[in-house]
Amino acid sequence: MAVERGSEYTVDELYDNYEFKVVKRAILREFPWIKNVSVTQDNLDRYSSIFLDFEIDLPQLLQTYDWPAYDGAQRAWDKGHYFHAMYLTLFAEVPYEESKDVSHEIEALCKSIHNSPALPQDLRLKKGRRFAIGDFYFNKGNPEWYLAI
């Protein structure tokens, strides 16, 4: 769905939004294997949903849920390569349903904050906007270095 007129954001405006700050702080606290939450201008301009991208610590993710690593993700981590995917199951050798439960927890946290009566109306996201899960990724210092398996 397209962005409604008057509901546009720049990345800096979104990062300065109180609801974003609360959501980011809550995610980093509840999911310590997530190290950063970010957005891209392209997604902000294109969709009414604001897709959050999550930088992860692969070993901490795997340890938290006692999951075995997906070989491709582990090789990328070990070599310091950039690796991203929409689904956590591409980082760990687990059934999609099991990894989807974690994604649902993140979505539920975002929704509970968005709908919380404790969040003043004037500090919420602009009309028609809500948070959604974008990509999970890790990048150990090589910004444009993509994995070649």
Domain ranges in the chain are 11-139
Structure tokens at 75: 């090789």
**How far is residue 69's CA from residue 91's CA, in Å, rounded to a whole number?**
6
> Which tokens belong to 125?
């996201």
Rounded CA separation 146/149 (Å): 10
CA distance 30 to 44: 25
Q: In whole angstroms, what is the distance from residue 70 CA to residue 73 CA?
A: 5
* Residues facing 51 on adjacent strands: 132
**Cβ count within 10 A of residue 62:** 22
The pTM assigned to this predicted structure is 0.90
Closest CA to 67 of 90, 37, 83: 90
Residue 106, both tokens: 């993140």
Per-residue pLDDT of the chain (149 residues; tens, 9 = 90+): 666 676 788 999 999 999 999 999 999 999 999 999 999 998 898 888 999 999 999 999 999 999 999 999 999 999 888 899 999 999 999 999 999 999 999 999 999 999 999 999 999 998 889 999 999 999 866 554 444 44
Amino acid at 140: K
Question: What is the predicted pLDDT for the residue at 147?
Answer: 43
Long-range contacts (CB closer than 8 Å, 24 or more residues apart) made by 116-123 = 119/18, 119/19, 119/22, 120/18, 123/17, 123/18, 123/19
pLDDT at 79: 86
